[in-house]
Amino acid sequence: MRVLLARPPRRDLRDAGLPVPPLGLAYVAAALRAAGHAVEILDAYALGWSWARFDQHIAAARPEVLGLSAMTPVADVAARAARLARPHVGRVLLGGPHPTAVHHAVFDEMPELDAAIAGEAEESAPALLRWWAAGGAGPPPPGALVRGWPLVEAEPPALAQIPLPARDLLPMGSYRYLLATRPGFATMLTSRGCPFSCSFCDKSVSGSRWRARSPIEVVDELELLERDYGVGFVNFYDDNFTLRRDRVVGICEELLRRGLRVEWKCEGRVDGVDLPLLRLMRRAGCRTVAYGVESGNQATLDLLRKDVTVAQAPAAFAATRAAGLRSLAYMILGAPGEGEAEVAESLRFCHALGADYVQFSSLMPMPGTPLTAQHAGRAATGGRNPVDSDRERVILSDLPPERLDALMRRAWTGFYLRPAPLRRLAGDALASGSLWEAARLGAGFGRWALGA
Ligand code: SF4
């Protein structure tokens, strides 16, 4: 079949969000291509296309299947793309975290859909196309959401069996990342799933069973990225890159043995790192480690079921600094139970950590998470931050949305409008060739900070 996998344009062309590769679409494209389909990826977001141009392209291409992906905060963008494309395509298929979380309810939200995929799609999507090609008689394959049929959950694919993402179908020269330290940017997954049980975390696609690729497989892909695509910086998208210490050591030692120059960033937990490991990571090209600190209040950490204490974060940040690495702290402001005093406490805590970068967010009730079930019916809108791509952010908070908005602005401007973070970000933009994108982002930040 002729398949077009598409990332729709920005909601608003003034949206300054940086384009990162749509890794999920590239994985599915590779799997569909291996199954014999003719696959194209259109990344209209990265290319800066308008909605009119997107519509024209689909009308001209007339694919037999249009594949889209959606996270819950941007599900309305996928819905708009499905509506536009419907008259021009044979079938419309949606994958990603949103259909995985809401299952058949997605057909009420997006009546144009013919089917959706719940969970990882590398095996379910080719199986669904085979089912369609055979006439769609009998039950659909596991993982496929089809009207009138119950979902049979699919086993996640074995990572060693699925082909590498089809990056040759992506405009690789268009991707940028603000914290990259070298030109040429890519994202990668070395593991999937996370065994922890944080109450706010939407792990619906890859679940709780952690599955990892071997150090050799990981470094083979890094070598290919450096050699074939000129990639100088990789952001590992793993939920928990540092979960198994021996595997991280193996990846670092293999990187050093092969002498790759690629630099990278990963995500870890504050209870999952130590100074010798961080020093080895630094030698092997790591430049930044991001930690889900979330809060400086133990009651909030307990509500979020982070399974760490407030005291563990300072040690991890000190070790990261001592290893010569930069740190990024993810912080949640105004979680249920937090008033202004608790938000102020979290901000003091965050500044004392000495993080090089911080991302402050409000708490979104993601469908299917324990926290959302616990606080059903309580959501309001507000609490946006300058890097959210959702327009009307749904939040869980005891603070009035306008107060949370004001606190969010104070947090971001209080952290970033200081000489050291500005110098650091300007240096990164220069090193990674992203000056234009950083300027756009800075202008967007300014508009947001002024409430424009
Ligand atoms: S927040 Fe991080 S550590 Fe917690 S469950 Fe999600 S991925 Fe795992």
169 located within any domain: no
SS3 313: helix
170 located within any domain: no
Which phi and psi (to 5°) does residue 256 adopt? Answer: -70, -40
Residues 182, 134 share a domain: no
CA of 404 to the centre of ligand 1 (A): 24
CA-nearest residue, atom 6 of ligand 1: 201
CA-nearest residue, atom 3 of ligand 1: 196
pLDDT greater than 80 at residue 205: yes
* CATH number for position 99: 3.40.50
* CATH number for position 438: 3.20.20.70
Of 159, 192, 221, the residue at which a domain comes to its end is: 159
Q: What percent of the chain has pLDDT over 70?
A: 97
Residues 77, 110 share a domain: yes
Probe residue for ligand 1, chosen from 191, 192, 194 as the CB with the greatest number of ligand atoms within 8 Å: 194
The pLDDT value given to residue 287:
97
pLDDT: which is higher, 349 or 447: 349
167 located within any domain: no
204 located within any domain: yes
pLDDT digit string, tens, across residues 110-123: 999 999 999 999 99
Ligand 1, atom nearest to 240 Cα: 7
pLDDT digit string, tens, across residues 332-360: 999 999 999 999 999 999 999 999 999 99
Residues 277, 424 share a domain: yes
Residues 111, 211 share a domain: no
Ligand 1, atom nearest to 203 Cα: 6
**Two tokens, residue 126:** 């080719």
Ligand 1, atom nearest to 196 Cα: 5
171 located within any domain: no
pLDDT greater than 90 at residue 452: no
Give the count of beta carbons closer than 10 Å to the beta carbon of residue 422.
12
Q: Which residue has the tokens 């992506």?
A: 170
Of 100, 131, 159, the residue at which a domain comes to its end is: 159
Residues 6+ apart with CB under 8 A from 268: 240, 241, 242, 289, 290, 291, 316
The pLDDT value given to residue 178:
87
Residues 191, 48 share a domain: no
CA of 274 to the centre of ligand 1 (A): 19
What single string gives the DSSP state of each residue in 87-111? GG-SEEEEESHHHHHHGGGHHHH-T
pLDDT greater than 90 at residue 13: no
Write the burial class of residue 159 (CB in 10 Å: 0-12 exposed, 13-18 middle, 19+ buried): middle
What single string gives the DSSP state of each residue in 192-218? E------TT---TTT-SS-EE--HHHH
Q: What percent of the chain has pLDDT over 90?
A: 80
| Boundaries of domain holding 210 | 176-449
Residues 343, 371 share a domain: yes
CB 85 within 8 A of CB 93: no
pLDDT greater than 90 at residue 315: yes
Residues 129, 39 share a domain: yes
Read off the pLDDT of each residue in 273-284 and give the average, rounded to a whole number: 98
Residues 306, 205 share a domain: yes
Report how many domains make up the chain: 2
CA of 332 to the centre of ligand 1 (A): 14
The pLDDT value given to residue 377:
67
Read off the pLDDT of each residue in 379-386 and give the average, rounded to a whole number: 71
Ligand 1, atom nearest to 269 Cα: 3
pTM of the model: 0.93
pLDDT digit string, tens, across residues 21-79: 999 999 999 999 999 999 999 999 999 999 999 999 999 999 999 999 999 888 999 99
CA-nearest residue, atom 4 of ligand 1: 198
pLDDT greater than 90 at residue 364: no
166 located within any domain: no
The pLDDT value given to residue 395:
80
CA of 128 to the centre of ligand 1 (A): 30
Probe residue for ligand 1, chosen from 189, 191, 201, 244 as the CB with the greatest number of ligand atoms within 8 Å: 201
CA of 101 to the centre of ligand 1 (A): 16
Which phi and psi (to 5°) does residue 36 adopt? Answer: 100, 5
245 located within any domain: yes
pLDDT class of 18 with cuts at 50, 70, 90: confident
CB 94 within 8 A of CB 82: yes
Residues 429, 385 share a domain: yes
Probe residue for ligand 1, chosen from 189, 206, 240, 301 as the CB with the greatest number of ligand atoms within 8 Å: 240
The pLDDT value given to residue 391:
61
Residues 418, 315 share a domain: yes
Q: Which residue has the tokens 């977001």?
A: 45
Read off the pLDDT of each residue in 312-328 and give the average, rounded to a whole number: 97
CA of 293 to the centre of ligand 1 (A): 11
CA of 200 to the centre of ligand 1 (A): 9
Probe residue for ligand 1, chosen from 196, 208, 293, 372 as the CB with the greatest number of ligand atoms within 8 Å: 196
The pLDDT value given to residue 257:
98
Probe residue for ligand 1, chosen from 205, 211, 236, 239 as the CB with the greatest number of ligand atoms within 8 Å: 239
Ligand 1, atom nearest to 239 Cα: 7
- Cα-based angle 415, 417, 423 (whole degrees, multiple of 5): 100
CA of 193 to the centre of ligand 1 (A): 9
CA of 268 to the centre of ligand 1 (A): 9
347 located within any domain: yes
The pLDDT value given to residue 372:
84
pLDDT greater than 70 at residue 383: no
pLDDT: which is higher, 125 or 378: 125
CB 295 within 8 A of CB 343: no
CA of 243 to the centre of ligand 1 (A): 11
CA of 394 to the centre of ligand 1 (A): 20
Of 159, 184, 218, the residue at which a domain comes to its end is: 159
Residues 186, 48 share a domain: no
The pLDDT value given to residue 389:
58
Residues 255, 305 share a domain: yes
pLDDT greater than 70 at residue 379: no
Greatest C-alpha distance within the chain: 64
pLDDT greater than 90 at residue 91: yes
Cα-based distances in Å from 379 to 67, 376, 393, 408: 30, 8, 10, 17
Q: Which residues does ligand 1 sit against, CB inside 6 Å?
A: 194, 196, 198, 201, 203, 239-240, 269, 292
CA of 269 to the centre of ligand 1 (A): 8
Candidates 404, 342, 369; CA nearest to 72 is 369
